[in-house]
């Protein structure tokens, strides 16, 4: 496969035409600052997030970091702590960075305008070889949809697991399934050659919460889900296959 999860981690590696990339989604730098406005006091985990990315780049021998949207958390311009977290992260990286623009990244281009080695793609995504990259808050371009594997974030998929005595917990999960071209063809008003696999990444930031994909009443955030894939399977971070996500 062109894209393979890193066992036990909310990250994957992708073999691109000229390099090997580490892919993560929904870093949400500065999330703890945002939570304070809601009355939730948590110590910053910025150091742990940064160290985890640096460690993953080293372990996977990746040549590039790709963030599938929402590198930052604030919808508007980042404040002091959030700005510092982003700048400290980028200074710690020894590889170039591609950020696929997400709905939280509106002012990111201004923040990073003077920084070398950082590229920000449009919100409709970009295709690198046979790998399509998109955040998921808006419809992917036809070029992205023609890829063998389309990678997206935005959803922060979670699976609710129950034990025999009624205890329950939520786990971050991967969703992977064959792309259904019908809704994309309808949106773009053309017949698309789109028969790849859609991979929905777990949130890299474990504080974000997310879409409980197997709980009644929960809805996907992306405008093309769940219609955009067929029979998507859910996997835990350790690689455990749980079966079709809606039946777990």
Indicate the helix (H) or strand (E) that contains 233: strand 233-236
Report residue 77's pLDDT band, with 50, 70 and 90 as the boundaries. Answer: low
**What does the pLDDT read at residue 194?**
87
pLDDT band for position 48 (cuts 50, 70, 90): very high
Q: What's the pLDDT at 214?
A: 85
**Measuring CA to CA, which residue among 42, 64, 44 is closest to residue 53?**
64
* Cα(48)–Cα(51) distance, integer angstroms: 5
pLDDT, position 75: 66
Asked if 35 and 165 touch (Cβ cutoff 8 Å), the reply is: no
Top-confidence residue, 134 or 162: 134
Band (38; pLDDT cuts 50, 70, 90): low
The least confident of 32-36, 54-58, 87-91, 114-118 is: 32-36
Q: What's the whole-number mean pLDDT along residues 91-117?
A: 88
105 membership: H or E segment, kind and range:
none
Q: What angle do CA 8, 13, 14 make, to 5 degrees?
A: 155
Most confident of 54-58, 72-76, 214-218: 54-58
pLDDT band at 70 (very low <50, low <70, confident <90, very high): very high
pLDDT digits over 110-145, tens only? 888 778 899 999 999 999 999 999 999 999 999 999
What is the pLDDT averaged over residues 15-21?
A: 93
Encoded tokens for 10:
């909310």
Which domains occur in the chain, in start order? 3-247 (3.60.21)
* 14 pLDDT more than 90: yes
Report yes or no on whether pTM surpasses 0.95: no
Give the residue-averaged pLDDT of 6-12. Answer: 97
Above 90 in pLDDT, residue 203?
yes
User: Is residue 165 predicted with pLDDT exceeding 80?
Assistant: no
The predicted pLDDT at position 78 comes to: 62
- Residue located via tokens 């793609």: 121
């Amino acid at each position: 496969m062109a894209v393979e999860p890193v066992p036990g981690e909310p990250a994957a590696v992708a073999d691109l035409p000229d390099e090997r990339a580490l892919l993560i989604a929904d870093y949400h730098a500065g999330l703890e600052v945002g939570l304070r406005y809601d009355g939730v006091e948590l110590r910053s985990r910025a150091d742990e997030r940064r160290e985890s990315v640096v460690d993953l780049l080293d372990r996977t021998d990746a040549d590039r970091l790709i963030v599938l949207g929402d590198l930052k958390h604030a919808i508007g311009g980042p404040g002091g702590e959030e700005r510092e977290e982003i700048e400290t992260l980028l200074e710690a990286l020894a590889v170039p960075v591609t950020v696929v623009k997400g709905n939280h990244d509106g002012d990111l281009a201004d923040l990073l305008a003077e920084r070398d080695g950082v590229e920000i793609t449009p919100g409709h995504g970009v295709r690198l070889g046979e790998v399509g990259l998109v955040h998921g808050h808006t419809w992917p371009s036809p070029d992205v949809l023609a890829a063998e594997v389309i990678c997206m974030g935005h959803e922060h998929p979670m699976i609710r697991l129950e034990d025999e005595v009624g205890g329950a917990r939520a786990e971050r999960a991967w969703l992977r399934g064959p792309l259904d071209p019908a809704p994309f063809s309808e949106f773009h008003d053309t017949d698309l050659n789109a028969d790849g696999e859609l991979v929905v990444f777990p949130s890299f930031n474990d504080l974000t919460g997310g879409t409980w994909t197997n709980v009644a009443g929960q809805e996907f955030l992306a405008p093309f889900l769940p219609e955009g894939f067929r029979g998507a399977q859910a996997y835990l971070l350790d690689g455990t296959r749980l079966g079709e996500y809606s039946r777990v």
